[in-house]
């Protein structure tokens, strides 16, 4: 059984812990979180990465939510692709209910799980291509702050992944750079693990079909590879 994983770097710390004891995972690809700034480009990039993995695995787990552009992506391929049926990556950690509660508390919240807590102001400037403004005598950091004016709070989400003090220091610096009030909360990876377990079970079923197809007698013609019919 061979399971491929394609995921956002926002979930990398948590997924690295979850995948460590899973020998069936044969390929892992992390894509930069900055792809979220261009949703349609992100969808096309994911489609390209999935196509590249299709001949190598029995199923593919996507470490994403719908993220504005990925809804229905899992239905476009002939191998099972498991996409958590959740709005975004943050909801995979906080759960959709808690995510909604935090937004109700403060609509202008910048969420910082461990994968985002390492993001610096300079990384934001580069991801948004604001560094080119310096050529025109403008301050990239001033423009970055203008883009963050509707945020009021930075919420660090402690999932138990990584070194808490180091991550918290990075979150604190980010909040200082963008004039945000820093708050903290905790979360776990149970929901993410549940979807990963579904992907493992799906990959095992697909592998059994693949092995059965290879061993089937060919007197009536070659066995056709099974097409994943997955619905969660």
Q: From first to last of the 232 residues of the chain, give the pLDDT tens digit.
A: 999 999 999 999 999 999 999 999 999 999 999 899 889 999 999 999 999 999 999 999 999 999 999 999 999 998 999 999 999 999 999 999 999 999 999 999 999 999 988 888 888 888 888 888 888 888 889 999 998 999 999 999 999 999 999 999 999 999 999 999 999 999 999 999 999 999 999 999 999 988 887 654 444 444 334 333 333 2
pTM reported for the whole predicted model: 0.86
What does the alpha-carbon distance between residue 156 and residue 173 come to, in Å, rounded to a whole number?
A: 12
Distances (CA, A) of 36 to 9, 66, 199: 11, 11, 23
In this structure, the strands spanning 25-31 and 3-8 are parallel
Helices then strands, counting H and E runs in the chain, come out as 9, 7
Q: Go through the domains of the chain in sequence order and give each one's CATH number.
A: 3-89+189-215 (3.40.50), 96-186 (no CATH)
């Amino acid at each position: 059984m061979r399971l491929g994983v394609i995921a956002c770097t926002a979930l990398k710390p948590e997924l690295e812990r979850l995948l460590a004891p899973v020998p069936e995972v044969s390929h892992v690809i992390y894509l930069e979180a900055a792809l979220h700034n261009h949703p349609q480009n992100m969808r096309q990039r994911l489609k390209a990465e999935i196509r590249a993995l299709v001949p190598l695995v029995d199923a593919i787990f996507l470490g994403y939510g719908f993220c504005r552009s990925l809804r229905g992506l899992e239905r476009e391929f002939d191998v099972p692709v498991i996409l958590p049926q959740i709005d975004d990556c943050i909801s995979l950690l906080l759960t959709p209910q808690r995510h909604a509660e935090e937004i109700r508390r403060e609509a202008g919240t910048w969420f910082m799980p461990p994968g985002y807590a390492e993001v610096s102001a300079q990384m934001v400037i580069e991801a948004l291509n604001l560094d080119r403004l310096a050529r025109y005598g403008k301050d990239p950091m001033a423009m970055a702050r203008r883009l963050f004016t509707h945020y009021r709070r930075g919420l660090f989400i402690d999932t138990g992944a990584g070194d808490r003090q180091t991550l918290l220091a990075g979150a604190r610096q980010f909040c200082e750079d963008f004039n945000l009030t820093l708050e903290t909360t905790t979360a776990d990876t149970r929901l993410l693990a549940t979807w990963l377990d579904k992907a493992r079970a799906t990959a095992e079923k697909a592998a059994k079909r693949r092995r059965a197809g290879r061993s089937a007698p060919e007197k009536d013609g070659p066995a056709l590879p099974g097409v994943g019919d997955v619905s969660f």
